[in-house]
Amino acid sequence: MSARGPHSTLWALLVAFAAASPAGSATALNAASDPLDALMHELAAHPSGHVTFTEVQHLAVLDRPLESSGELLYQAPDRLEKRIEKPRPETLVLAHGVLIATRGKHTRTMELAAWPQVAPLLESLRATLTGDRPTLERIFSVELEGDAARWTLRLTPRDPEAARVLTRVIITGENASLRTVEVLQTDGDRSLLTIGAEVAP
């Protein structure tokens, strides 16, 4: 796994799992005096989820974008799994601060402590899933646009370590379900992850 790879892949992996849950109530978002508080509460309301995804990554070192698809799974409090089915099978599992990547017979393990740029991203995910708005706003400048039916959340890193690799994350959603996660990096690389349907148990 290259130094370039973990940043875009991990961020998409981390943020996307906040969406791996059934759609929430639009009424709760509309009725709230603070829409951001209500949105975070709705996104954090489900302890687990399983959805499909497609992802397109644009990397400066490649002539063509990388496209992939598969499934995303989340189990509280901190187990995240990304099962890539196309273009080739690969599994990424993040649990207890360790990322395990498996492709065919090859498995690679990475301690996230070795990537301090990634730590703020992990903390922001935990803050989102637990409804900890102060922590999220300590790491990111948070802007929420739109209404409950269709909204956009823009996250700009305040943390110097995160800002070294990450320019902005743009998340769109409908009601309390995420639909897309766009990651913009400082080196010009970008990725767009689109959340699909729930996978039946």
What's the first-to-final CA gap in the chain, in angstroms?
A: 31
52-61, 71-80, 84-93, 97-106: least confidently modelled range: 71-80
In the prediction, which pLDDT does 54 show? Answer: 92
Q: What is the pLDDT of residues 62-89, one digit of tens each?
A: 889 999 999 988 776 677 888 999 999 9
- Are the C-beta atoms of 178 and 16 separated by less than 8 Å? yes
Which of 10-24, 51-65, 107-121 comes out lowest in average pLDDT? 10-24
CA–CA separation, 119 and 184 (whole Å): 17
Task: Return the ∠ at Cα 110 (arms to 104 and 114), rounded to 5°.
Answer: 160
pLDDT at 22: 41
**Does this model's pTM top 0.75?**
yes
Of the two residues 125 and 161, the one the predictor is more confident about is 161
Q: Which fold has domain 4-195?
A: outer membrane lipoprotein receptor (LolB), chain A (2.50.20)
pLDDT category at 51 given cuts 50, 70, 90 is confident
Kind plus residue range of the DSSP H or E element containing 6: helix 4-16
Is the CB of residue 183 less than 8 Å from the CB of residue 35? no
Q: Of residues 28 and 192, which shows the higher confidence score?
A: 192
- Give 121's pLDDT tier (boundaries 50, 70, 90): low
pLDDT score of 20 more than 50: no
Give the range among 57-71, 98-112, 168-182 with minimum mean pLDDT.
Answer: 168-182
Q: Give the ranges where 17-171 is alpha helix by DSSP (H).
A: 26-31, 35-43, 119-130, 133-139, 160-163
With 90 as the cut, is the pLDDT of residue 176 above it?
Answer: no
